[in-house]
Amino acid sequence: MLDLRRLRALHAVVTTGSVKDAAARLGYTPSAVSQHIAALERETGTVLLERAGRGIRPTESGRLLAGHATALLERLAETEAALEALKAGELGVLRLASFATAGAELIPPALASVRAALPHLEISLRVAERDDVLPMLRQGILDLAVVEAHDLPVPGMLHSGVILDHLVTDPFGVVLPRGHRLAGRRVIKLSEVADEPWVDLKCEVGCCRAATDAAFQQAGFVPRRVVEADEYWSAQGFVAAGLGLALIPGLALGVLHSGVVVRRLHSAGQPVRHVLAATRPAVAQTVPVRTMITALRSVAGERHRAPS
């Protein structure tokens, strides 16, 4: 196997015409360049340079090897440049996943920010829930995922090979028909609507269902669910029609039905979910992942500071 450093030394001698000039170009000593050439001659079993008066010139073998070295060194320079561009986020693909409501509220402005900062980065995005995306992260199919959780992790927590960072806490609100008896209140207790019918949210899975079930249990009742909704938006339609109430997280209430109002719950029984950024250690410090997480934090911070 030919040593690339020795090929570089031969190429420099052939193109400059002297060992001294080659050493100056490479930042070596003339002795080091001569040693590289001698080692390369031993490896190839042929003479590569010969004396010509007070200088040196390449033999036929030397010209052949130096010519191939030119192509190799150019390709190496291209490879190094591509790697630097990839490290800087100027090339490559950022593979994302998010649960649906974060995908609607957090992801679009964050993606716009990343696109402005890294215009040549290719970005792919899929919608998936936590139980699906965490295995894909561990397998290297994804680089970053926005997931929801019932418990708040320690910042930068490493959990089963995945790094979790908190983005925002998303409280649930109670969605009431506009004409409801409690619509004029700003804050209500969940126990005050214990006898009301409720919408069963089929899209409520995992930590969301755990959070609302815990809130109902703390309020001392099991909700009487009378109608099913596949998603949060259709649930608002059922509420507007007076068919039942619904507990819906704030990120899913970016657009409100004209026939409903959203009221805060008393802090003692307030269900919440935590929105997290999940990545894996191998890519956590890459420019695309860091840029995306920074953008998500910025969008989440703006949303947190916005009035209810």
DSSP 255: S
Q: What are the structure tokens assigned to 64, written together?
A: 């052949």
Q: How far from each other are the two terminal CA atoms of the chain, in whole angstroms? A: 68
CATH of the domain spanning 170-272, picked from 3.40.190.10, 3.90.1150.10, 3.30.420.40, 3.30.465.10: 3.40.190.10
How many Å apart are CA 256 and CA 165, to the nearest integer? 29
pTM, full prediction: 0.70
- The C-alpha atoms of residue 196 and residue 218 are separated, in whole angstroms, by 16
Phi, psi angle pair for 158, to nearest 5°: -95, 115
Q: How far apart are CA 63 and CA 243, in angstroms?
A: 87
Task: Tell me the pLDDT tens digit for each residue of 14-35.
Answer: 999 889 999 999 999 999 999 9
8 Å CB contact between 119 and 88: no
Whole-angstrom distance, CA of residue 203 vs CA of residue 5: 60
Q: Which residue do the tokens 């010209």 mark?
A: 63
pLDDT digits (tens, 9 = 90+) for 62-89: 889 988 888 888 888 777 766 776 677 6
Secondary-structure class of domain 4-84 per CATH: mainly alpha
pLDDT in tens, 216-233: 999 999 999 999 999 999
- Spatial contact of 171 and 164, defined as CB atoms under 8 Å apart: no
Query: What phi and psi, each to the nearest 5 degrees, are found at residue 73?
Result: -70, -35
Domains 4-84 and 93-167+273-305 share a fold: no
Q: What is the per-residue pLDDT for 153?
A: 67
Residue 248's closest CA among 259, 234, 268? 234
- Structure tokens, 154: 């320690």
pLDDT value, residue 307: 43
Hey, how many other C-beta atoms are within 10 angstroms of the C-beta on 128? 17
Q: Alpha helix (H) ranges present in the chain?
A: 4-16, 19-26, 30-44, 60-87, 100-105, 107-117, 130-138, 207-219, 232-240, 287-305
Give the pLDDT score at 308: 46
Residues of the chain with pLDDT under 50: 306-308
pLDDT at 37: 92
Query: Residue ranges of the domains in the chain?
Result: 4-84, 93-167+273-305, 170-272
Domain 93-167+273-305 has CATH 3.40.190.10: yes
Determine how β-strand 93-98 pairs with β-strand 122-127.
parallel
What is the structure's pLDDT at 241? 96
CB 65 within 8 A of CB 48: yes
